[in-house]
Amino acid sequence: MHHANHFYGHASILARYCGLTGSPTIWGYLQHGWNTHDGFAVGHEFVPGYPKLVWSEAVARRGWALGLRNYVVIGSPWAYLLALQAQAPPPEGERAGTLVYPFHGWEGQQIVGDHEAYADDVREREGDVPLTMCLYWNDYEDANVRKTYEDKGFRVITHGRRGHMYVGGDLDFLDRQLTEVRAHRRVVSNRLGSALLYGASTGAEIGVYGDPMVLEGDHAVLGGMAKQQRLFPELHQDQVPDAVAHAVARRELGLDETLSPTLLQHTLGWDDDMPPQPNQEHV
């Protein structure tokens, strides 16, 4: 099935939860990131009959409103990673500093924005605390972008690559991310995204502020920053109340929607018998 199922090591995490190894083929289309649309990239083509495996009922409802069907809610890979780590010893030391995730593009679309001005804005609002700037890999490999933040006193990191066409992805991407968000007291960004929800789900304080920047050739159907502010006005402030942040993260990440290992294995087509076939009945 689709190579995006393996982005960020998602298939590998789900396999670990099921007691399997490797990154087996998922029979369906797995949501690989959070958005305010239908859970998938604009223009994503679906083979009729195969399920759209999404993180939450909230995502499914947004898809239904667009006329799409065949959604199956399974919870996010992040939710399963938290379940896998639940028995691990807690991180050493207290949380400290702020982890920053600037809005980023991807290999096919670049971001337009003033990184120097954003760095100054973050420093002014966060104060004299350790700052970690986490960049998407293509921004991280841009020496000018990386140096801009380093010169402003930021520790600059990347969690790795998501991969493309089953090649070059870091299977421990989310593991690295979990380590970082658990180490920081705050997680902030200039746009809503998966990383902020991940931070809130671990108890970090979150905030959304600063120049939202723009994506080259952005798709109008996504609604841009205006749609995010309309749907989630309560999240657009420097310090989001913890109860509000936790409730949104719980809902959007499907933390209460996870399946048992046996049921997840069956749903993903990983049983020993034949994988599920198209034209199953799903809402």
Q: Report the C-alpha gap between 232 and 228 in whole angstroms.
A: 6
CA distances from residue 33 to 15, 88, 90, 151, 273 in whole angstroms, order as listed: 18, 25, 26, 31, 30
Specify the pLDDT at position 40: 86
- Percentage of residues of the chain with pLDDT beyond 90: 65
Which value, in Å, is the radius of gyration of the alpha carbons in the chain?
19
Domain ranges, ordered by start, for the chain = 3-87+254-267, 98-252
Q: Report the C-alpha gap between 10 and 16 in whole angstroms.
A: 10
- Tell me the pairing of strands 52-54 and 71-73: parallel
What residues does 208 pair with on adjacent strands?
189
Specify the pLDDT at position 280: 41
**Ranges in the chain, pLDDT < 70:** 1, 42-43, 87, 90, 104-112, 163-168, 214-223, 273-283
**98-252 CATH, one of 3.40.50, 3.20.20, 2.20.130, 3.30.420:** 3.40.50
Specify the pLDDT at position 105: 54
- Residue 143 CB-density burial (10 A; 0-12 exposed, 13-18 middle, 19+ buried): exposed
The pLDDT tens digits for 142-182 are 899 999 999 999 999 999 987 655 556 778 999 999 999 99
Instruction: Give which of 54, 73, 49 is closest to 276, Cα–Cα.
Output: 49
> Mean pLDDT in the chain?
87
Q: Write a three-state SS string for the chain.
A: CCHHHHHHHHHHHHHHHCCCCCCCCCCCEECCCCCCCCCCCCCCCCCCCCCEEECCHHHHHHHHHCCCCCEEECCCHHHHHHHHHCCCCCCCCCCCCEEEECCCCECCECEECCHHHHHHHHHHHHCCCCEEEECCHHHHCCHHHHHHHHHCCCEEECCCCCCECCECCCCCHHHHHHHHHHHCCEEEECCCCHHHHHHHHCCCEEEECCCCCEECCCCHHHCHHHHHHHHCHHHCCCCCCHHHHHHHHHHHCCCCCCCCHHHHHHHCCCCCCCCCCCCCCCC
